[in-house]
């Protein structure tokens, strides 16, 4: 069986750097930080009092009051970026076969805000059970993909992927495979997360995973820096329209990039820590590159790393890159856009895949900001694109995401023919 080619024809983004793809792109290329003091709740009693929140988002701008009350914030984010991507792609038409269009959506946590509200309400009511009838439909992680398909009437494959911080990368890979196997003509793939609340901050604080640099939030996310002390929690969503190449060409669609590979692996090592030698990361990058016969490691010009700004993770990922790319590792540009967006958990893969696609489209590498001090454990000869975007030809880009539980996923995009 000859696999079909898959291209990206639409994008949507709602991020701590901006609420559209253009705003997100400008924030990335300008090296802006989305980190600031938390506004969603009183965080004064928490070890971490800052996050990368979505700014200026009002659900009433997108939904009527009744509709918005039936959705958790992560679902609202999902619908907003899906609409951006659908409109960007021009996919909807009278001739569109909706039975051949589907949705695969990722979220690592789903409706944690709803769960928190309902449990707190139960306790406040002296354990009298007065739960919202939409409690379960608002909370479950698969509801976002369901809401998107209902809105547009898409009757193709529809489900959600949950693999912690690799969730939305897995959604993109699954959508990619469904199209190239001929199961669909087009798919909406991506992810959303809205965990900047007491439970999210408190839970990750308990894990000692978050930066506690409360005196200077904008520089708290410091991938590869010697003084990094944990990640910064982010929120938001990203959506991609993936489409079979001939289907896209026949309707005259604008093509951002071609998706040419997806890899998946497991560390099989630890609940929250990466394998110290990056074995899972090595395998997943090799799988993504080997997934398409025309791509070799030497064709990759940019790697958007998982790069969370944690002491163990950054070192292991650099080791893995050197193992996969050999001498070509020193010709790559490498950067962590989490230095600007924070860590969007299950939505990270989608917004970072978009960053990789934008690098391919505009031949511009977004920087790793907030670098102050070299870490002797990280090879200083690598081009980690510190502090300033860099212009260069980008034929192909690879994006990594790694999740708690040892879940790894990588995707590769290249310039369209």
DSSP secondary structure string for all residues of 275-303? PTT-HHHHHHHHHHHHTSTT--GGG--EE
Catalytic residue among 247, 275, 343, 371: 343
Whether 306 is catalytic: yes
Chain centroid to CA 344: 6
Mark residue 402 as left, alpha or beta (left: phi above 0; alpha: psi -120 to 50; beta: remaining): beta
First to last CA, the chain: 22
Instruction: Please report where in the chains the tokens 């306790």 appear, as a residue.
Output: 123
Catalytic residue among 247, 306, 371, 407: 306
Catalytic residue among 52, 165, 371, 407: 165
Please tell me the number of Cα atoms within 13 Å of 163 on its side-chain side.
Answer: 24
Whether 165 is catalytic: yes
SS3 (DSSP) at 150 = helix
CA triplet 206, 161, 140: central angle to 5 degrees?
Answer: 70
- 377-380, long-range: CB < 8 A, 24+ apart: 377/315, 378/224, 378/314, 378/315, 378/318, 379/318, 379/322
Radius of gyration of the chain (CA): 20
Phi and psi, residue 178, nearest 5°? -60, -40
Q: Burial of 294 by CB count in 10 Å (0-12 exposed, 13-18 middle, 19+ buried)?
A: exposed
Please tell me the number of Cα atoms within 13 Å of 312 on its side-chain side.
Answer: 11
Whether 343 is catalytic: yes
Distance CA 73, CA 320 (A): 36
Q: Could you give the C-alpha distances from 74 to 1, 68, 111, 254, 365, in angstroms and in order? A: 38, 11, 6, 28, 29
CB atoms closer than 10 angstroms to residue 58 = 8
Among all residues, which ones are annotated catalytic? 165, 306, 343
């Amino acid at each position: 069986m000859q696999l079909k080619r898959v291209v990206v024809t639409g994008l949507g983004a709602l991020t701590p750097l901006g609420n559209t793809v253009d705003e997100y792109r400008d924030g990335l290329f300008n090296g802006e930080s989305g980190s600031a003091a938390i506004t969603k709740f009183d965080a004064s009693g928490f070890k971490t009092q800052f996050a990368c929140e979505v700014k200026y988002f009002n659900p009433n701008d997108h939904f009527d009051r009744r509709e918005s009350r039936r959705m958790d914030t992560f679902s609202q984010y999902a619908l907003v970026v899906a609409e951006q991507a659908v409109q960007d792609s021009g996919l909807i038409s009278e001739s569109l076969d909706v039975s051949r269009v589907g949705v695969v959506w990722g979220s690592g946590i789903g409706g944690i805000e709803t769960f928190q509200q309902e449990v707190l309400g139960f306790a406040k009511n002296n354990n009298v059970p007065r739960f919202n009838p939409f409690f379960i439909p608002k909370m479950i992680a698969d509801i976002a993909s369901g809401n998107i398909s209902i809105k547009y009437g898409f009757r193709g494959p529809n489900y959600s992927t949950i693999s912690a911080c690799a969730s939305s990368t897995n959604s993109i890979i699954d959508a990619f495979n469904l199209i190239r196997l001929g199961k669909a003509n087009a798919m909406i793939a991506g992810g959303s997360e809205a965990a900047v609340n007491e439970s999210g901050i408190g839970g990750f604080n308990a894990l000692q995973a978050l930066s506690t640099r409360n005196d200077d939030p904008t520089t708290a996310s410091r991938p590869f820096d010697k003084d990094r002390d944990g990640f910064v929690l982010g929120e938001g969503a990203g959506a991609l329209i993936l489409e079979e190449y001939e289907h896209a060409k026949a309707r005259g669609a604008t093509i951002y990039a071609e998706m040419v590979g997806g890899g998946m692996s497991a560390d099989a090592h630890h609940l929250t820590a990466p394998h110290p030698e990056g074995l899972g990361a090595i395998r997943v990058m090799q799988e993504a590159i080997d997934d398409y016969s025309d791509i070799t490691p030497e064709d990759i010009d940019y790697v958007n790393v998982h790069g969370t700004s944690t002491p163990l993770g950054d070192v292991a990922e650099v080791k893995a890159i050197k193992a996969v790319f050999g001498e070509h590792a020193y010709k790559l540009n490498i950067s962590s856009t989490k230095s600007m967006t924070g860590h969007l958990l299950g939505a990270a893969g989608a917004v970072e895949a978009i960053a990789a696609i934008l690098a391919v489209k505009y031949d511009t590498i977004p920087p790793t900001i907030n670098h102050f001090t070299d870490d002797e454990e990280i090879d200083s000869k690598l081009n980690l694109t510190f502090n300033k975007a860099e212009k260069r030809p980008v034929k192909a880009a690879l994006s990594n995401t790694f999740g708690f539980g040892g879940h790894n996923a990588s995707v590769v995009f290249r310039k369209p023919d």
